[in-house]
């Protein structure tokens, strides 16, 4: 891939300062970039790195002091350098897997399935009866699309994904490899050591513009639908149990687990490895810290952390108090000896012999000696 | 699907109160159900929802006050509404993936493999040498059954499951998509940065009536067998390390990790995201709370939580104490000023000048000001 | 498998004490071993088990008191019993899956792919354009090797693994089933409920002698490479985010999550379910305890645990202090009553009426009564 700086600037909508005939061959971070590569600075704090970069060109914001530009380094000035750089990356992206022009001969597609225009179905894909695949959708090798599954337009399903019967995916959805959509919810009527399976007859609905990471599990509803709403992004190895609903535009970081029937609002952020119990609500715009264990509903906009999860500000204070426990114990011990001395003094002074009776309950332990 | 209330009542063993010719088309929760759907109430606390439901019929317990039945809503009276409703769900379940009548032509089955009667082997399934598949077992598309694997009768293996060589699955086992059974245990002779792999020559045994979720990993034993005993149920994304044994009828919730050689008893419940160290025992009937980190053996019947896991009752008290730390520090500060005043008073009273010597050690910190 | 003790001793380099014509049929742990099996003791503490074992032969260290050998039990004396036993295990290992002699007819290999000598490519494997597979490498059934992927020599890729385009694997790498290498990093320009995907145009590099467990996810870099350095071992269900680097010979236990751009040093051990935030460094030789939540960089050689992770020694003291909180509160309450008595005594003695004014601020709460 070889383009001029002028061409890149035009594609990402910026103004060149420097030599617009510079040939660019790739993109990289400001520290790693080599000659003929494009890089960027978004945060003014990192402007100082521009002087030391080997990149031939840097995407910068309008606030960047253009006069400080080093010799031999050209600039593209834009409104939002990060977003502009992201678009520049696409220009240099290596060619992905071209799945197939149409249906690969090794794919097994049921006769009753309906395939849209311009679809690509890779090697060894299996599409079951009455499934429908929308226009421009790509299904990579080894993926499984179950009976009556409906997949929208321009959706990408990566290799070895499993979508079980009856699930629905919208338009422009991306599902990364190894992910399972529509496995049975974990529902049993428990009794001693012999548990009866509760049938899981619902499905999963993935709305438009949702992206789902690799090796994620989204269980079908017991009855009704587990639903991931428009524009939400789910990272790798996340567990979404039966009947969960995740609202529009929420972010679910890797290895989060959401238990059955919980409702996650719009624009929520769930940090990595957080766990959420079942049957609660996480309000719109709430933020759950990484590894938090959420045991009750979280109001809209609240930040929670820790186990059991509580307001993040309170949790942070608690961590500080816990760190100061040794000092606190020292203080209590100091007070005790002062009281003992006072008691002796008062007794000697004949003020009140009764005071010493209180000592029986005393004796501050010294835990640090027994750790 | 269209059946009468009378037919459903017969199939689930209940008595109709109301119009037994009511046509039913599906099932749903009591709040979500629409006309012509069946719903249920199990907990008497939710009886009040019956008045507001749009369902045409409700499965209720013998304790339900039949006289309060709303007009237009029929009832099916049973012993256990939840269990009866679960059976009713099966009637309305959408048709699943019909894998194949026999072996799909695209499946690759070794000549030396033994296939039972009435089996279904889906598209692109691979069955290796000397594997045996029991009568009535279904293996969905893209699953891999390794050399000498033995699968029992009426077992279901979902798409893209991998079962490595030598593993054994019993009857009526269910394995959800993407799960891996029999991967090598994580065993190395560690030495600096160059670790020698310890061969993992054992296998995995899954007994009858076990259900295993999606994207689960169950490692083969170093020597001997990793074993999941009869009737246990394992949720999605669980890690079971080499040589672990899980007793009969235990419940392992999503994202739990069990380290090598640990023995989990019968009827144990391991909450979501809990982690268990290796080489310990979790006693029969014990319950481990979600996200707990279990670092030592748990006696039978005990409930533990937190990290490091301790008795749940003690852990709960500790959380309360931690929340009260700010108050405790305030109290200690209050005591300190009272002691100072006493010391001044005693000194002024000429009782004992010595008492003030104790103050040198004092000074309660004020952590909240530095947070 | 049937070999004599003399043959095993020769293969693992030890001296026989006892009957070197003993026939051996397998290996097992010292408690589980039966007649005609080989076992071992490595730790002298377990020497006492030798008397009770049913094994026909035991691998022991040079320190073992050979004179105590029970009748009918032969010994193989070696330098390092654990390591020698590991090598003996290989002799008795059941035959694994013989993938194929060359390329299985059902595999789909692009014409532009380059295959080395002595490779085995299993049923339904898909190898895309311009991929290269090194000599002696085995790719098991259903695995996917993307466009321009480079796989080294004598590497093993298990069933249903997905390696996306442009990733690089070294020599003698092992990748267990269901693992995904090269999925897109989780990168979005966040804005309200509509997030813009940041292209992920980098790749993943897996160096020589790395072993990766089952259902692991290793995301490709946004730009540049996510890298797992030589000899590192990664357990099942681990999440490695974009642009992470893991140094030589590190150990990452199951279900760990490492966030984007974090650099893990050489010889690091990350305990099970630990979570590491992004953009930090874990120094060479550091150890992170299971379930720890690491929120800032860890110096080389340090051991950390808990959430937020801190020095393990400090964390352990804190757990003890927390357990003692009830006692501490009892102590403070005891001090309070002693002060009250002193105040009364001083007041009665006419020493200083002012002292009692300090009581207004008092009142130690009794949290345990409200739990």
Domain assignment of residue C337, yes or no: yes
pLDDT, tens digit, 9 for 90 and up, residues C23-59: 999 888 888 888 999 999 988 888 889 988 999 999 9
Of B94, B349, B365, the CB nearest to A324: B365
Q: Which residues of C touch B184 (CB under 8 A)?
A: 174, 176
Q: Taking CB atoms and an 8 Å cutoff, what residues of chain B touch C338?
A: none
Helix or strand run (H / E) with residue A312: helix A312-323
Mean per-residue pLDDT of chain C: 90
Report the pLDDT value the prediction gives residue A318, as an integer from 0 to 100: 87
**pLDDT beyond 80 at A104:** yes
Find which of B28, B80, B160 to mutate to test the A interface (most A CBs within 10 Å of its CB). Answer: B160
Which chains neighbour A (Cβ–Cβ under 8 Å, 3 or more pairs)? B, C
Taking residues B197-210, what's their average pLDDT?
A: 94
With a cut of 80, say whether residue B211 has pLDDT above it: yes
Q: Is the pLDDT of residue A352 over 60?
A: no
- Same domain? For A140 and A272 the reply is yes
Q: For residue A188, give how far its alpha carbon lies from the nearest alpha carbon of chain B (Å).
A: 9
For the cut 90, the answer to whether the pLDDT of residue C330 exceeds it is no
Mean pLDDT lowest among B104-113, B267-276, C82-91, C292-301: C82-91
Chain C residues touching A273 at Cβ < 8 A: 257, 273, 275, 293
Alpha-carbon span A259 to B271, nearest angstrom: 11
Inter-chain touch C223–A29, beta carbons under 8 Å: yes
Angstrom distance (rounded) from CA C237 to CA B273: 12
- Residue C215: which of B197, B201, B217 has the nearest Cβ? B217
* Beta-carbon contacts below 8 Å between B and C: 253
Instruction: Give the closest residue to B33 by CA, choosing from B9, B8, B59.
Output: B59
> Per residue in C223-281, pLDDT tens?
999 999 999 999 999 999 999 999 999 999 999 999 999 999 999 999 999 999 999 99
3-class secondary-structure state, position B328: helix
What is the pTM (predicted TM-score) of this model? 0.89
**Burial grade of C53 (CB within 10 A; 0-12, 13-18, 19 or more):** buried
Among B140, B242, B279, B312, which one carries the catalytic annotation? B242
Of chain A, the percentage scoring pLDDT greater than 70 comes to: 93
Determine the residue among A160, A239, A343 to mutate to test chain C binding: the one whose Cβ has the most chain C Cβ atoms within 10 Å. A160
Give the nearest chain C residue to B325 (CA atoms): C325
Q: Between B124, B231, B343, which is nearest A193 by CB?
A: B231
Q: Who among B147, B224, B351 is closest to C96 (CB)?
A: B147
Question: Helix (H, G, I), strand (E, B), or coil: what is residue C15?
Answer: strand
Across the interface, do C359 and B349 touch by the CB < 8 Å criterion? no
Q: Which of B162, B241, B341 sits opposite C159 (nearest CB)?
A: B162
The CB-side HSE value for B314 (13 A sphere, CA atoms) comes to 15
C191 CA: distance to closest CA in chain B (Å): 30
Nearest to B182 by CA among C216, C213, C209: C213
* Range with lowest mean pLDDT among A186-195, A215-224, C116-125: A186-195
Question: How many Cα atoms are found within 13 Å in the side-chain-facing hemisphere of A118?
Answer: 8
Residues C143 and C285 in one domain: yes
Catalytic residue ranges of A: 242
Q: Which residue in the list C176, C195, C242, C279 is annotated as catalytic? A: C242
* CA max distance for chain B: 105
Sign of CA dihedral C254, C256, C260, C265: negative
Do B275 and B183 lie in a common domain? yes
Interhelix angle C312-323/B312-323, rounded to 10 degrees, is 90
Q: Which residue of A has its CA nearest to C307?
A: A306
For residue A72, the tally of other CB atoms under 10 A from its CB is 11
Whether residue A345 lies inside any domain: the answer is yes
Mean pLDDT of B231-242: 98
% residues pLDDT > 90 (chain B): 68
Residue A97 lies in a domain: no
The backbone torsions φ and ψ at residue A71, rounded to the nearest 5 degrees and listed phi first, read -60, 140
Long-range contacts of A126-134 (CB under 8 A, 24+ apart): A126/B122, A126/B123, A126/B124, A126/B141, A126/B142, A126/B159, A128/A165, A128/B97, A129/B98, A134/A171
Q: Count of A–C CB contacts within 8 Å? A: 257
Do A206 and A275 fall into the same domain?
yes
Domains contained in chain A, number: 3
Q: How distant is the Cα of C135 from the closest Cα of chain A, in angstroms?
A: 24
- Which residues on C lie below 8 Å from A27 (Cβ)? 201, 223
Task: Examine the domain organization and report whether C254 and C282 are in the same domain.
Answer: yes
Interface predicted TM-score of the whole assembly (ipTM), two decimals: 0.87
Distance from the Cα of residue A45 to its chain's centroid: 26
* pLDDT given at position C350: 54
Q: What is the pLDDT of residues B12-70, one digit of tens each?
A: 999 999 999 999 998 888 888 889 999 999 888 888 899 889 999 999 999 999 988 99
Cα distances (Å, whole numbers) of residue B178 to B188, B237, B275, C235: 26, 10, 22, 17
User: What confidence score (pLDDT) does residue A371 get?
Assistant: 29
Measure the CA–CA gap between C84 and C11, rounded to whole angstroms: 9
B352: closest chain C residue by CA: C351
Chain C: touching chains (3 or more CB pairs < 8 Å): A, B
Residue C137 maps to a domain: yes
A247/A170 same-domain check: yes
In a domain, A320, yes or no: no
Does one domain contain both C51 and C132? no
- Residues from chain A that touch B365, judged by Cβ atoms under 8 A, are 324, 327-328, 331
Place of tokens 């090797």: C145
Same domain, C37 and C168: no
Q: What CATH number is attached to the domain comprising C301?
A: 2.160.10.10
The per-residue pLDDT for A327 is 85
Instruction: Classify residue A329: in a domain, yes or no.
Output: yes
Q: B97 in a domain, yes or no?
A: no
**Alpha-carbon distance A31 to B107, whole Å?**
51
Co-location of A108 and A47 in the same domain: no
| pLDDT value, residue A362 | 37
Identify any residues that bridge with C245 across adjacent strands, giving them in sequence order: C227, C263
Q: Do C146 and C270 reside in the same domain of the chain? A: yes
- List the CATH number of the domain containing A83: 3.40.1390.10
Does B322 contact A318 at a Cβ distance shorter than 8 Å? yes
Domain boundary among B295, B314, B333: B314
Is pLDDT above 70 for C366?
Answer: no
Give C253's contacts in chain B (Cβ within 8 Å).
Answer: 186, 259
Confidence of residue C336 (pLDDT cuts 50, 70, 90): confident
Instruction: Please tell me the distance from the alpha carbon of residue B120 to that of residue B104, in angstroms, as a whole number.
Output: 8
* C66-120 confidence digits (pLDDT tens): 988 998 899 999 998 988 888 888 888 877 776 668 999 999 999 999 999 999 9
Instruction: Tell me: do B145 and B247 sit in the same domain.
Output: yes
SS3 A12: helix
State the sign of the Cα–Cα–Cα–Cα dihedral C93, C94, C99, C100.
Answer: positive
Instruction: Look at residue C227 and tell me if it is in a domain.
Output: yes
CA distance A205 to A151: 10
Q: What mean pLDDT, rounded, does chain B reach?
A: 90
User: Pick from C193, C223, C339: which is nearest to A249 by CB?
Assistant: C193
- Nearest-Cα residue of chain C relative to residue A324: C318
- Mutation choice for A interface testing from B254, B360, B361, B369 by most A CBs within 10 A: B254
Clarify whether C242 is annotated catalytic. yes
Question: Which domain, by its residues, includes C354?
Answer: 325-370
Q: Domain end: C92, C120, C142, which one?
A: C92
Same domain, B137 and B248: yes
- Distances B20 to A30, B87, B91, C28 between C-alpha atoms, Å: 74, 18, 17, 64
Q: What is residue C206's predicted lDDT score, i.e. its pLDDT?
A: 98
CB B69 within 8 A of CB B17: yes
Could you tell me what percentage of chain B is helix, strand and coil, using 3-state DSSP and rounding each to the nearest 5? 20, 25, 50
Whole-angstrom distance, CA of residue C256 vs CA of residue C289 = 11
C-alpha A68/C-alpha A63 separation (Å) is 12
Domain boundary among A92, A126, A148: A92
Closest to A107 in 3D by CA, of A145, A137, A134: A145
């Amino acid at each position: 891939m070889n383009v001029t700086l002028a061409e890149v600037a035009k594609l990402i909508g910026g103004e060149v300062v420097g030599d617009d005939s510079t040939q660019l061959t790739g993109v990289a971070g400001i520290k790693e970039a080599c000659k003929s590569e494009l890089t960027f600075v978004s945060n003014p704090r990192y402007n100082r790195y521009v002087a030391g970069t080997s990149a031939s060109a840097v995407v910068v914001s309008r606030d960047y002091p253009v006069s400080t530009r080093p010799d031999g380094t050209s600039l593209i000035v834009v409104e939002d350098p990060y977003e502009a750089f992201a678009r520049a990356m696409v220009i240099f992206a290596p060619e992905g897997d071209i799945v197939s022009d149409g249906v690969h001969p090794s794919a097994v597609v049921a006769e009753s399935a309906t395939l849209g225009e311009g679809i690509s179905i890779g090697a060894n894909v299996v599409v079951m009866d009455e499934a429908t695949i929308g226009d421009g959708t790509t299904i990579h090798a080894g993926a499984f699309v179950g009976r009556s599954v409906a997949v929208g337009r321009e959706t990408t399903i990566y290799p070895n994904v499993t979508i079980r019967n009856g699930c629905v995916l919208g338009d422009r959805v991306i599902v990364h490899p190894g992910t399972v959509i529509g496995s049975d919810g974990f529902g049993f009527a428990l009794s001693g050591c012999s548990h009866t399976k509760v049938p899981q007859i619902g499905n999963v609905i993935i709305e438009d513009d949702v992206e789902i990471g690799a090796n994620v599990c989204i269980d079908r509803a017991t009855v009704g639908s587990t639903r991931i709403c428009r524009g939400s992004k789910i990272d790798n190895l996340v567990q979404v149990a039966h009947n969960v609903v995740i609202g529009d535009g929420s972010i679910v970081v890797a290895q989060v687990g959401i238990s059955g029937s919980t409702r996650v609002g719009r624009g929520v952020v769930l940090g990595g490895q957080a766990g959420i119990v079942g049957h609660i609500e996480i309000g719109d715009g709430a933020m759950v810290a990484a590894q938090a264990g959420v045991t009750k509903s979280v109001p809209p906009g609240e930040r929670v952390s820790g186990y059991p999860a509580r307001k993040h500000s309170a949790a942070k204070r608690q961590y500080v108090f816990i760190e100061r426990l040794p000092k606190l114990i020292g203080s209590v011990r100091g007070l005790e000896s002062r009281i003992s001395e006072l008691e002796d003094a008062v007794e000697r002074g004949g003020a009140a012999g009764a005071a010493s009776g209180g000592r029986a309950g005393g004796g501050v332990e010294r835990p640090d000696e027994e750790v």
